[in-house]
Amino acid sequence: MVDSGEKEPDAVLADFFNEAAKRFFGYSYLFPYQRLVAANILEAARHRGIPVQTPGGAERGEQPFFQDDARASDSGCLGRQIVILPTGSGKSLCFQLPAVFMEGITLVIYPILSLMADQERRLRERGFDPVTLRGGQCGEEREALWKKLRSGKSKFIIANPEVLLTPPVMNRLGSLGIAHVVVDEAHCVGEWGESFRPSYLEIGRIIEASGAPLITAFTATAGAPVLEKIERYIFGGGAHLISGSPNRPNITYSALGCVLRDLAVRDLLLTNSRPAIVFCSSRPGAERLAHYLREKLREEGAAWYGEVRYYHAGLDKSERAEVERWFLRNREAVLAATCAFGMGIDKADIRTVIHRDCPPSVEAYLQETGRAGRDGLPSKAILLWGPDDQMSLRRAGSEQEKARLTGLLNYARDISRCRRKTLLELLRYDDSDAISADTSCCDVCEKRVSAALREESGIVDFFRRNRRRYTISEAASILAGGDINWAEEEARAAIGCLLKIGKLKTLKSFFWKGKITVSGEPLTPQQFRISLC
C-alpha cells in the first residue's frame, strides 16, 4: 500500500489541537477526552451559525472537520454536553481552547470565589483578559467591564450564579454576545441547590437570558441522582453525556474509626506526607482544628508546626487570597478547610487529604479527595468515622440526602470490600477494568484495616487489667498521665463514648458503684453500620 503522505482527519485534528494548546496555553499534549469535548463544542458552534476558525477546508463549506457521527445524528442535544472527567484531567482546557477559535464570549459559572480568582489568574498568565463579575462592584466598575466586552478585548466572563441573577446583570446578558455558557463543578446543582445555594436552581434562567446556543456542564463526579438534577436545572431536559472514569489509581483510600478526631488528625499528619488538606464541616471547626494542630504539633516537636492555617468562606477577600498564595507555594503546608476551598485549585503536589468530618455524599468526597496527587504521584485519602456520625445523619434534610450520606458512612465502616470498588459502585460506575490488582489500592486490600475505634484497644485493655477499680474520672486522670499522651478531657471523652456504645459498662452494685469494667460481648463490624432508622 502506498503512503499518500496525507494524514487521516483524526490525526490532523489531533495535530491542530496539540499545536493550539501549546501556542495559547503552554501544553504540549491533549488527552483524547479533551480533544473530543473541544471538537464537539466547535462543531456545534458551526452548526449553530457561529463563525469558527477551523483547520483544513471546513471553513470553506466542505465536509465538517469537527465531526462526531453519534452526536451529529442527535440534533436535539447538539451543543449541550455534560462532561464528567476526573480531577486533574484538564477540564478547563476543554472550553478554553474552543473559545480561542469561535466568535463570541464564553461565560464560565463557578461556585466559589477562590476558584474564580484562581481561574482569572491562570487566564491572565496565558495572555487573556477575562472579565470577572463579583458582588460589591460599583456602577463605574461594571460599566468599564461592559465596555471591555463590547470592544471584543475579552473572550471570557467569570462569575458565580448569585451575581448573574442580579437584575442589572440579567438585563445585560442578552446583549453581550455570549456564545457558550459553561457551568463548572456542576455537581453543586445537586449538592447545594436544594439546600443553601438556591441560585443554582436558577441557572437555566441565566442561560435563557444569555441567549447562548452552546451549554456545557463539567464535573469530576456525578451519580445518577446528581446527573438528573444537572439535566433538569441546567439543560431543562436532555444533554449528551461524555464520561471518563472517575477512578484515580494513584490515590490510596483508607478509613479510620475514632472518637478523638482532632487527635487522630494530628497523628495522621505526623505519619503522612505533606502538603495536606484536612476538610472540616464548619467554619468554626476549621479554625479550632488549625489552632489545635499548631499547639499539639509544637508539643510533639514538629519543626513545621507553624505551617498550619485555615480557610473558609467567612474570611475576607484579602485573607483568602493570602492563604491561597501561601498554600500554593508551600511544600510543608497543612490547611484546615471547609468545602469552600479546593475545587479547581491547581496545586499538583498535595500528598494527603484527610476528612475530619464525613462529607454529604460520594460525589463531594471524590471531588475533595481529588485534590490529592494531581501530579500523578502516589497520594492518600483518609476518611475519619465515629459514633458521632449519627448526628450528621440526623441533620440531613431529605430522605435522599440521608441515603447518600448513609452510603458514604457505610463505606467508611465496611472492612470487607475494596474501597475503590465501593466508591465507584456508589457512583454507579461499572467498570471492572478501573480496579487494579495493585495491593496499594486501599487499607482493605492491604489488610491493614480495623473495625475498631482507634482508642478502643488501649482503653479496653486498661479496664480489662483494672476491672471494677476506677470511675471514669479516676481512669481519665491515670490514662492522661500515661503512655497514651492524651489530655484528661480527651481521655474522659473516649471512655464516655465506649460506655455509650457498649464496649464498657458502669457497675451499679453497692461495692463497685460507679466503677467501670469491660462489657461481656464485643460489638461486631455489622453493628457499626449506619442505618436510616
Lowest mean pLDDT of 94-103, 247-256, 477-486, name the range: 477-486
Residue 11's pLDDT is 55
| Sign of torsion over alpha carbons 131, 135, 141, 143 | positive
Residues in CB range of 476: below 8 A, 6 or more apart: 488, 489, 491, 492, 495
Which of 100-114, 219-233, 275-289, 332-346 is most confident? Answer: 275-289
> Is 57's pLDDT higher than 50?
no
Looking at domain 251-434, its CATH superfamily turns out to be P-loop containing nucleotide triphosphate hydrolases (3.40.50.300)
Domain assignments of the chain as residue spans, ordered by start: 9-243, 251-434, 456-528
CATH fold for domain 456-528:
Arc Repressor Mutant, subunit A (1.10.10)
CATH fold for domain 9-243:
Rossmann fold (3.40.50)
Residue 135's pLDDT is 87
> Is 262's pLDDT higher than 80?
yes
> Is 344's pLDDT higher than 70?
no
Residue 285: pLDDT band with limits 50, 70, 90: very high
pLDDT in tens, 446-484: 999 999 899 888 899 899 999 888 999 999 988 887 656
> Grid coordinates in use for 43?
462543531
pLDDT in tens, 155-173: 999 999 999 999 999 999 9
Mean pLDDT of 64-91: 65
Number of alpha carbons in the 13 Å side-chain half-sphere of residue 367: 29
Contact 352, 382 (CB under 8 A): yes
Chain centroid to CA 74: 31
- In which element (H, E) is residue 334 found? strand 334-337
Instruction: Specify the long-range contacts of residues 17-26, CB closer than 8 Å, at least 24 apart.
Output: 17/97, 20/97, 20/100, 20/101, 21/93, 21/97, 24/97, 24/100, 24/126, 24/127, 25/93, 25/96, 25/97, 25/126, 26/126
Q: Is the pTM of this model over 0.75?
A: no
Do 9-243 and 251-434 fold alike per CATH?
A: yes
Distance (Å, whole) CA 364 – CA 274: 22
Residue 248's pLDDT is 86
Lowest mean pLDDT of 105-114, 373-382, 508-517, name the range: 508-517
Q: Which residues pair with 108 in a beta bridge?
A: 158, 182
> Is 321's pLDDT higher than 50?
yes
Residue 273's pLDDT is 96
Mean pLDDT of 416-425: 91
Q: Determine what percent of the chain is predicted with pLDDT higher than 70.
A: 86
Residue 284's pLDDT is 96
